[in-house]
Structure 1
Amino acid sequence: MRNHAEELRALQDTLYFIGGKWRLPVINAICNGHRRFREIERSIPGITTRMLSKELKEMEMNNLVTRTVYADTPVLVEYAPTAYCRSFGTIIQEMIRWGRQHRKTILKGRADKP
């Protein structure tokens, strides 16, 4: 027997986690090997420096990324996904797959209309 109230809470927790325009693109960028702030920023068209900084701080607080500071000159900061963050990878891949199929379906539907 399914517990609908618990399922709703779990769904809301997931939506909160991925909520907003930038969270998934930032996770995707970091998981694809972009480790430095500017690399991440350049890999996500349209994101502002301020928004990326905010997202990275929130992600660090929520155990999604680790932040390592190297005392070079200039100071070097790198971000890496945690195992917890990587556990979301299969969901992201499925969302990408679904999004591609959805786009094809919508475009085909538009092409079929007179």
Structure 2
Amino acid sequence: MRHALAPLSILVAVLLGGCTLFNSRTAPAPAPAPVAAVQPAPALLDTNGTPIERVPFRTGVSSATVEKMAKGQGCTGGQGAGLVTEAGPVEVYRMRCEDGAMRGKVFMARCELRQCVRM
């Protein structure tokens, strides 16, 4: 009889020991750190105080054509000809001239159905 109680007492001890896992008190989670407010970049303004919109650089189907046209006018360097308008049948491209005869200027072209002319 004594041997039959030994496994039973071990089982009871394990079960009671496991119950303490569910009743244990844990420290509350720390409060999240305050998030610093993100300051927007200062707006670019023209001489009249009108905001200047920044357009991200995107290539278009006629970027290479506009770059060749710009090179013919003495405008080279930079990222190349970027699409300013939405892609479509009529597109406007812009290229900053960092080298050549037009250094510091901007070359722009309008392309309609891949036929480009300087603006």
TM range (shorter): under 0.3
TM-score after normalising by structure 2: 0.19
Which one has the bigger strand percentage?
2
Higher relative contact order (CA 8 A, sep 6+): 1
Which one has the bigger helix percentage?
1
Larger Rg: 2
